[in-house]
Copies of this chain bind each other. A is one copy, B any other.
């Protein structure tokens, strides 16, 4: 099993030339069926697997997919990677993981990765500051798929969710259980997902004919601490000015809000209803458990891997054949996970 067989050995055993073995291995149609079977049998019998290194050198392409990912301890990343790994596992590809540390890595790291010529395709997860560089690389032919909610999707194949629609749904959910005074804690304004979620929130209010109250739009930064400060500030005000519900643009900020309500004895959802976004793995364990918008992280990873491998499969060696259709953007559906932070009752009977 562990012997280092080469294509030469198989050729000798099958009484054919290396070239023929190679053709069989690569499913070249111009090979006699009988011969093909004989070679195939011997290959299988000996468990021969072509040396990836040699194949890569000779043929150009190798079955390696580079995955650029933030630290695996970030929320949602393990779930995404699980999906990626799941799809790749059933393919002929292998996964080369580049765990990037945004505080230390710059675009030269990306250059080095590609210079090694180990991987010739990339699946980038939340590339952040690397985005512009990746765009350049894509223009020059690098097969690339993005999972990114910080930048608006461009020409690059992209997998994600519809942030505006999801935020619309979350807000409408609150409206439908009777809330009319709904605040929104916004994420960093430079993030695409922040502005989209804000837009969805606004749109929902508009649809329900609710006049927009600027005091209910609260600027956060996705960190738990910002949720804490915003809540403290809000609850410092006269109770009459409080909203009856808060829609936080991510779960972490909602955690911050919960921290404050717990400290001050403000009841959730009786005094104030709370809904987050992401379905963080901790959300179901909060006190009370947090209602939130579930992001299908695993499915996103799975789909992104599928898209990339599709692109690779369609490629007949360099130069890469690019579809001239509109850019490939895949939006996966989200869903609202109702938990106790919103489930108790409606504050006022709906009309």
Q: Given B82, B111, B137, which contacts A73 in the complex, CB threshold below 8 Å?
A: B82
CB–CB A85/B99 < 8 A: yes
CB distance from A314 to the nearest CB of B (A): 22
Give Cα distance in the complex from A256 to B115, angstroms.
51
Least CB separation from A79: chain B residue: B73
CB–CB A96/B97 < 8 A: yes
CB–CB B96/A51 < 8 A: no
- Which residues of chain A (48-92) have a CB below 8 Å from chain B? 48-54, 56-57, 62, 64, 67, 71-73, 77-79, 81-82, 85-86, 89
- Which residues of chain A (84-116) have a CB below 8 Å from chain B? 85-86, 89, 94-99, 101, 111-112, 114-116
Least CB separation from A97: chain B residue: B97
Give Cα distance in the complex from A115 to B50, angstroms.
8
CB–CB A49/B2 < 8 A: no
CB distance from A101 to the nearest CB of B (A): 7
A-B contact pairs, 26 of them (CB 8 A): A2-B114, A2-B137, A47-B111, A50-B116, A51-B57, A51-B116, A51-B117, A57-B57, A64-B96, A71-B85, A72-B79, A72-B82, A72-B85, A77-B78, A78-B78, A86-B99, A89-B99, A94-B96, A95-B96, A95-B97, A97-B97, A262-B348, A281-B282, A282-B285, A285-B286, A287-B287
A35 surroundings in chain B (CB, below 8 A): none
| A73-B79, A101-B89 known; A53+B57 contact, CB < 8 A | yes
Name the residue in A48, A252, A348 with the highest tally of chain B Cβ atoms < 10 Å from its Cβ. A348
